[in-house]
């Protein structure tokens, strides 16, 4: 008797019950031209909900293309959060690149098929997908192929610079401010920072400046674990010692990491690639300290919460492994994206109902503020609970409210700020030196 309940059949059945169709399109590795064709094919297939734009060029002149999904592509809608996925930061870590190409095709297919879960996501979220942050490094790695790819060949960009060690070091400044009661968010960049980073890094930072991202994930390979900030330890390096470096939002970051880990088919089991990570998650600095990384930079310079996803033991898995990896990651990619809709969100207005941009939103007990965007809307990821929230802006009296957050959709909480009497206006204190630097540390070449 034939065993109709084989594992592939069961996977297809379960995914069908969840409203996620199994696509029949081929799995393959995409060189740069193939990737561009694949992205434009998605845009052509779903023209009303997608847009392709370039955030800049690599050292060798390749465009860093982003595919956007939205019911109004190219437009930020007030109270609609911005989300991003970034892949292939290390050129020889290719699974994230292929998963994001496949995820783009999946979103388009499912939207057209009437999948209510995917339609709701695209209607309520502005989704930005950058499949390859390092197309030059990928081409170096791809020329060797999966069979012969070395651990480091193609990791950096064409100048062999590790892009995940290339962002301005704001951790040193943050740790100094923690001791001096300085500012806790949107830290200033060093002087001449644009000349100190690679073109790919510069393009991503400019991208962050132009979009008020709320949540993000950075897809890597070489391990299987969801890694969350801080990546850089607060303590001086001691050989053989690792120290946990918690952010003020440590509980939220742990929840975000667990969301991906437990929605992933095997990440949450802990034992992968010869390593063990409890629940399939880790604090970055607890694993090993890393300076000038992208996820810490997101948290310290923007409103965005980012985690780093290590998705495969093999940095360059063969094409035959891609279907299994897709099935293992598909639900996790959707579930993590949905987390952008938790916590609180709202508008900050003045007395005449004009939106106030760059207003600070602080939560009592969590020493990390966020700011409203140019349209006056803000988004604050929070776990379920009751919070005291204050909105403040230069020239206005602060306003405080108490709100209870549930486990479902974000609670809307609007603020109306009154103009402060002139005698109450006070200049903000100067928060430390702008380009505080830290000693150079030896290069650490782990998966991240």
Catalytic residues: 310
Nearest residue to 154 (alpha-carbon basis) of 221, 208, 68: 221
CB neighbour list of residue 313: distance below 8 Å, 6 or more residues apart: 221, 222, 223, 224, 272, 273
Helices (H), strands (E): how many in the chain? 11, 18
Residue with tokens 């995820």, as numbered in its chain: 103
CB neighbour list of residue 373: distance below 8 Å, 6 or more residues apart: 76, 212, 357
CB-CB contact of 69 with 127 (8 Å)? yes
CB neighbour list of residue 199: distance below 8 Å, 6 or more residues apart: 56, 57, 58, 59, 157
Six-digit token pair at 323?
Answer: 């279907």
Residue 50: phi and psi, rounded to 5, are: -135, 160
Q: How many angstroms separate the CA atoms of 28 and 34, rounded? A: 10
Residue with tokens 């060189």, as numbered in its chain: 31
Please give the order of strands across the beta sheet that includes 360-363: 366-371, 360-363, 385-392, 399-405
Please tell me whether residue 247 adopts helix, strand or coil conformation.
coil
Length of the chain: 448
Residue 431: phi and psi, rounded to 5, are: -105, 70
Q: How many angstroms separate the CA atoms of 260 and 89, rounded? A: 19
CB-CB contact of 30 with 38 (8 Å)? yes
CB-CB contact of 280 with 267 (8 Å)? yes
Q: How many angstroms separate the CA atoms of 221 and 316, rounded? A: 8
DSSP secondary structure letter of residue 419:
B
Q: How many angstroms separate the CA atoms of 383 and 250, rounded? A: 11
Cα–Cα–Cα angle for 381, 304, 339, nearest 5°? 40
What is the largest distance, in Å, between two alpha-carbon atoms of the chain?
A: 87
Is the previous residue joined to 152 through a cis bond, with omega within 30 degrees of 0? no
């Amino acid at each position: 008797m034939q065993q109709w309940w084989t594992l592939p059949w069961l996977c297809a059945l379960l995914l069908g019950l969840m409203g996620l169709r199994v696509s029949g399109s081929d799995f393959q590795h995409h060189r740069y031209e193939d990737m561009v064709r694949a992205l434009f094919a998605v845009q052509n297939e779903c023209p009303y909900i997608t847009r392709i734009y370039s955030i800049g060029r690599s050292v060798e002149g390749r465009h860093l293309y982003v595919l956007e999904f939205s019911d109004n592509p190219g437009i930020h809608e007030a109270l609609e959060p911005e989300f991003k996925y970034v892949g292939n930061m290390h050129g020889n870590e290719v699974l994230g690149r292929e998963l994001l190409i496949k995820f783009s095709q999946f979103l388009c297919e499912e939207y057209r098929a009437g999948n209510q879960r995917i339609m709701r996501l695209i209607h309520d979220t502005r989704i930005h997908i950058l499949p390859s942050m390092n197309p030059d490094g990928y081409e170096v790695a791809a020329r060797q192929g999966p069979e012969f790819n070395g651990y480091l060949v193609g990791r950096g960009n064409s100048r062999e610079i590790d892009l995940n060690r290339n962002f301005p070091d704001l951790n040193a400044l943050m740790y100094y401010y923690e001791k001096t009661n300085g500012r806790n968010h949107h830290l200033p960049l060093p002087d001449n920072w644009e000349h100190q980073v690679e073109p790919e890094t510069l393009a991503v930072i400019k991208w962050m400046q132009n979009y008020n991202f709320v949540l993000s994930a950075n897809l890597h390979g070489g391990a299987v674990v969801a890694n969350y900030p801080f990546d850089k330890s607060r303590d001086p390096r001691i050989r053989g010692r690792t120290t946990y470096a918690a952010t003020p939002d440590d509980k939220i970051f742990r929840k975000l990491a667990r969301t991906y880990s437990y929605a992933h088919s095997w990440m949450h089991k802990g034992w992968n690639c010869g390593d063990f990570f409890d629940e399939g998650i880790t604090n970055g600095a607890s694993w090993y300290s890393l300076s000038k990384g992208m996820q810490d930079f997101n948290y310290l310079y923007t409103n965005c919460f980012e985690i780093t996803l290590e998705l495969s033991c093999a940095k360059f898995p063969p094409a035959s492994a891609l279907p299994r990896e897709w099935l293992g990651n598909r639900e996790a990619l959707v579930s993590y994206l949905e987390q952008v809709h938790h916590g609180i969100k709202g508008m900050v207005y003045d007395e005449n109902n004009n939106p106030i941009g760059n207003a600070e939103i602080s939560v009592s007990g969590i020493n990390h503020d966020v700011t409203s965007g140019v349209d006056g809307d803000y988004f604050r990821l929070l776990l379920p609970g009751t919070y005291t929230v204050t909105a403040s802006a230069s020239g206005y009296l602060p306003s405080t409210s108490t709100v209870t957050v549930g486990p479902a959709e974000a609670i809307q909480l609007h603020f109306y700020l009154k103009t402060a009497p002139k005698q109450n206006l006070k200049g903000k204190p100067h928060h430390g030196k702008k380009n505080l630097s830290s000693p150079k540390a030896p290069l650490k070449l782990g998966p991240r």
